[in-house]
Amino acid sequence: MSARKIWQYYRAYQWKDILAMIRNSRRPPRLCDDRFDGKLVVITGATSGIGYVTARKYASMGANLLCVNRNEQKSEALRREMEDTYGVRCDFLLADLSVLQDIHRAAHELAARETPIDVLIHNAGVYLTAQEITPDGLDRVLVVHHLSSFIINYLLMEKLKAQDKGRIILVSSEGHRFAAWGLNLDDMNWKKRRYTGLRSYGAAKTSQLLSMLVFAEHFRGSGVTINAVHPGAVKTDTGQENGPLYRWWKKTFFDPTLKTTDISAEALYYCGVSKELDGVAGRFFNLTTEEKPAPPARDLDLARALWQKSLTLSGLQSGTSEKRASNSNPVTA
């Protein structure tokens, strides 16, 4: 990151924004009581944590579900529970959202379905204290949090536009602030810099927010919106892939300070259904309170550069995807 860019971010940081984040973290989410009968909601990572309680919330309000998960046994159990408990339809696709081939396959299967997607929630996530490289040679945290949602959104653009309506929700995080001085697009895989869990997570979540800005521009005027939601400081199983020391520290010191995932489900339902957010796009919400993200996550020049980098990393710069990318119009500042 250049000294000029760091200075730009430094000047953009304001104490009032930090204080607003702290205040917002204490506020309960707004609630939406509107039913969602017969609508289709797609959720990634729905077999546990935030994804699971969100699936239950939407199903309890009449929505049909299509869940993108890794584990077939857990997916079958989820389907039986949702259908038996709420009388809705619950289908699933199996995909490992850290593997590009699986992500592309899932995206193409979603695009091929005739049923409109009313809400698409990118929830799948991972937190790693030690770096893992995927079979595609990419940082796993980057792929799960950023490239998976990027690929799916990109390959669903035409379907969603043709529907004239739909909402995309990125389950984001205040953790994007760990990338305080932005991204290094020449070292997305952390080969030149020291890897830490917080830095990797912050960079991936910042990437997710930056892609949102460009997608919002592509969807403008179509009736399709995309927003990001921090789901609150809630207790989940995230981080269980890490070593025993981290798991002990999380269970002993961190988890007791966290809230239940119910607030996350309420926030994600509100942001997916509430009429108050009709036409609202490209925003970041702390639960249901709109909030200004950190300066690097608002950098439109960086967002444009990241868009092109993501097309390359995700394998979308080949064949018809390359032609489509060359014809796309980037967001303008």
DSSP alpha helix (H) spans, 239-281: 244-249, 262-273
The torsion of the CA quartet 176, 50, 158, 299, rounded to 10 degrees, works out to: -10
Q: Helix, strand or coil for residue 65?
A: strand
Strand partners, 122: 170
pLDDT above 70 coverage of the chain, percent = 87
Q: Please give the mean pLDDT across all residues of the chain.
A: 90
Mean pLDDT, residues 75-94:
98
pLDDT at position 301 is 96
Residue type, 268: L
Q: Is the pTM of this model over 0.85?
A: yes
Architecture of domain 3-316: 3-Layer(aba) Sandwich (3.40)
Mean pLDDT, residues 93-110:
98
pLDDT at residue 324 above 80? no
Domain boundaries, the chain: 3-316
Residue 39 CA: distances (Å) to CA of 36, 108, 115, 120, 288: 6, 20, 9, 11, 21
Phi and psi torsions of 8, nearest 5°: -60, -45
Q: Count the neighbouring beta carbons within 10 Å of the beta carbon of residue 251.
A: 12
Check residues 89 and 250 and name the one with the higher pLDDT.
89
- Dist. CA 152–CA 120, nearest whole Å: 10
Could you read off the pLDDT of 137-193 as tens digits, one per residue? 999 999 999 999 999 999 999 999 999 899 999 999 999 999 999 999 999 999 999
pLDDT at residue 239 above 70? no
Confidence of residue 319 (pLDDT cuts 50, 70, 90): very low
- Dist. CA 211–CA 218, nearest whole Å: 11
Residue type, 297: A
Residue 145 CA: distances (Å) to CA of 10, 31, 113: 26, 26, 24
pLDDT at residue 286 above 50? yes
Judged by average pLDDT, the poorest of 66-75, 207-216, 250-259, 280-289 is 250-259
pLDDT at position 323 is 37
Mean pLDDT, residues 44-67:
97
Mean pLDDT, residues 109-113:
97
